[in-house]
Chain A
Amino acid sequence: MGKAVRALYCLLLMLGVVTGQAGSAGRALPNWLTGIIAVAVFLFLVFITFLVNKAWCEDSSNSQVEKVTVTENEYSMTITNLESVRSQEYDGAYENVIIHKSEENVTAM
């Protein structure tokens, strides 16, 4: 707790010094400070959104589990398909042909 308080004091002191010296184009705060304040506010909002998201997801956790299993099935299905299409020459590469073919079916008119 002491460390946090000390950090806060340092920040406030810096702020005071900086506003005393400020003067670029008649601004109240120098540019980089407004930038940092904006980022801090943004990260705070992201954090809040994350918490809200977590809270909401707890309610509908049942449907989430269902969704996850379905996705996993799809994922493993994809893996099986991809394994059969591995290229001989390069590790981690796949033949173009099959991907193209399946995509063609999807976009068939």
Chain B
Amino acid sequence: MNKSVEDSGNRVTINNPADIAVIIGYFVIVIGVGIWSMFKTNRGTVGGYFLAGRTMVWWPVGASLFASNIGSGHFVGLAGTGAASGIAVGSFEWNALFIVLLLGWLFVPVYLTAGVITMPQYLKKRFGGTRISLYLSVISLFLYIFTKISVDMFSGAVFIQQALGWNIYIAVIALLSITALYTVTGGLAALMYTDTVQTFVIIAGAFVLMGFSFYEVGGYSALLDKYSSALPSISLSPDLQRLNISPHCYTPREDAFHLLRDPVNGDLPWPGVLFGIAIVGGWYWCTDQVIVQRCLAARSLTHVKAGCILCGYLKLLPMFLMVFPGMISRVLYPDEVGCVVPDECKRVCGTEVGCSNIAYPKLVVSIMPSGLRGLMLAVMLAALMSSLASIFNSSSTLFTMDIWTRIRPQARDRELMIVGRIWVLCIVAISICWIPVVQAAQSGQLFDYIQSVTSYLAPPIAAVFFLAIFVKRVNESGAFWGLTGGLVMGLCRIGPEFYFGSGSCLIPSKCPSLICGVHYLYFAVLLFFCTGILVLLVSYCTSPIDDKHLHRLVFSLRYSKEERVDLDWEEEERGRNARREAEEKNKAVCDEDKTGNGRKSGLSRLIAWFCGLSGSQAPELTEEEVIEAAKELPDISEDPVWKHVVNANALIMMAVAVYCWGFYA
């Protein structure tokens, strides 16, 4: 993949002062904001580090939701798929407009009033037992590494190689180090403030590129006309015996400007688009740690809702900022972006399957004047770093709060902070080791694999969360067997698909059509309903969970003020006892040692400040204090005036979204 790319003449190095100044300016601003946020919040406690002390207002929440979601994978993937098959891929983004409202209005009130930090913790309180939360933690970490991190790193790699020609390892290691730096030190607060900066950079830069591309192609109506005739000049295979290229493999689709496509023959059938993407979106936005954590960090429920609306409006933009430029790229460079002959494609971008992934980098290299190329590089870096940083922080939260506390229940806040930071470094190392895998996988296939893995593994989780929140009758065995059944079904589909490969237009896959013939979006819908039915069946056959365990854990009881008997009370109590014992032992040791050196060296104090570890550790609460604390309930009441303002805004946003869907349907 490397050699042929470097040989092609399109090497554009960032070596002029304008570009370099822009990039350096960008890094200075991001690191500056990161350092400023370090002074603003207390990072030494679990609440301060993982939830930004619950003090965030609506605009960092909304911006952070957007920036965490938009990664370099969106730039490369949306533009590439847009170039290949038209605007339907934008429906992934426009579907999120509605799902993000579900998050703010239905799911977050329950999460807030339950008083949890992580999603597995919520399931543990809701169902009791440990196997469900363990399953969720492991699957979430697995999905993060194999889908989110690999997609973003692969896309960043494509951009870096196409646009800059840098050594991939040096570039990725440098990026990950900077990201890890402000993740490790600042925690969620630093992330959310820097995400606001990243959002500005992403939108500004992408708008500039969109302006230039529309200017080059001659305007919006010119794009509509020219797209259907964007055919590559080399469309005959040199070896007709071995490979016959049918015209429909390189001709732009007729329904390229429609969001809703044929339910049987379309590449994104409209029932799948409306319901399948909603289900996968439901997992991503409503049940996944990365997104929910940002909502939990908000100051109040009204701020959450306002942040969700802001994120929704921002999600209108990717269709215009990424999908349309991708299509313009195919119009302007049909022989490269729209190449079809395998040897030709290999010469252009190093992969035989197709070169639609280079749509966006090609525009950056060819259209942007110098100075602005540096800006586009900053945009890609912003997208890459914001997404990766969010994933690092959330996976660190998951690992620390769910897995480490199971291994060492006596761990206090300070130890958890240190473990959280070390886990970020581990994940960075794993990501670096993932680069050769990313390079070896044929780039055209990687995006399909990512879609498949998500569509086959996420729906059961979405189903279980949805039922857990809205149906009180669902109990632990129902949820567990539902998750297991869903996992088995998903693996039955993933196995053959990976084994036979997903194929391409020229060489279709040999996977039997009974398994692989069902579109992955339809399969997601099927999986969701099958899991739901299984969960309900098993729940109704086993004993229900008493209401006294469910106060403020389900939607219907979210305002109840009664005392809750936590299902995980025993486990929590064991943890608290272990921590109290450790504290007693510590005190004994300290008292003996008091005559020793009372001053810490300057260096260790500097490191402690940098890592946000305050000197004193808050004492573990006694039993009475714990009971008192449980009586103090998290507040999800809303000021009525602001509640109506926010609801009205949500309606307006939905109307705008429906208009856009209707416009391009």
Contact = CB atoms under 8 A, between A and B. Distances in A.
Contact of B626 (A96, A99, A108): A108
A35 interface: yes
Given A100-B48, A109-B572, A67 B635 contact: no
Nearest to A71: B637
Given A34-B663, A38-B665, A78 B635 contact: yes
Nearest to A24: B224
Contacts of A24: 224
A13 to B, nearest CB: 22
B603 interface: no
Interface string B547-583: 0000000000001010000000000100110000000
6 contacts: A35-B661, A71-B559, A99-B53, A100-B54, A106-B634, A109-B405
Contact of B629 (A36, A38, A96, A106): A106
Nearest to A67: B559
A25 B223 CA distance: 12
Contacts of B559: 67, 70-71
A22 interface: no
A75 B637 contact: yes
B117 interface: yes
A72 to B, nearest CB: 9
A26 B115 CA distance: 54
Contacts of B639: 75
A39 interface: yes
Nearest to A105: B629
A31 to B, nearest CB: 5
A36 B405 contact: no
Interface of B: 41-42, 45-48, 51, 53-55, 115-117, 224, 257, 299, 405, 559, 561, 572, 575-576, 618, 621, 626, 629, 632-635, 637, 639, 651, 654-655, 658-665
B53 A96 contact: yes
Nearest to A30: B663
B662 A37 contact: yes
A36 B658 CA distance: 9
Interface residues of A, number: 30
Given A35-B660, A100-B55, A104-B47, A46 B651 contact: yes
B632 A78 contact: no
A88 interface: no
A76 to B, nearest CB: 10
Contacts of B621: 108
A105 B287 CA distance: 24
Given A42-B654, A74-B637, A109 B576 contact: yes
A108 B575 CA distance: 11
Contacts of B626: 108
Given A25-B224, A35-B659, A106 B637 contact: no
B632 A106 contact: yes
A70 B115 CA distance: 20
B203 to A, nearest CB: 23
B224 A39 contact: no
Given A32-B663, A46-B651, A67-B559, A104 B45 contact: yes
A103 B47 contact: yes
Nearest to B121: A109
10 closest A-B pairs (Cβ-Cβ)?
Answer: A38-B662, A35-B663, A35-B662, A105-B629, A35-B659, A42-B658, A103-B54, A34-B662, A31-B663, A106-B115
A45 to B, nearest CB: 10
Given A37-B662, A70-B559, A25 B257 contact: yes
A74 B659 contact: no
A8 interface: no
Contacts of A61: none
A56 B60 CA distance: 37
Nearest to A97: B42
Interface string A73-109: 0110010000000000000000010011011111111
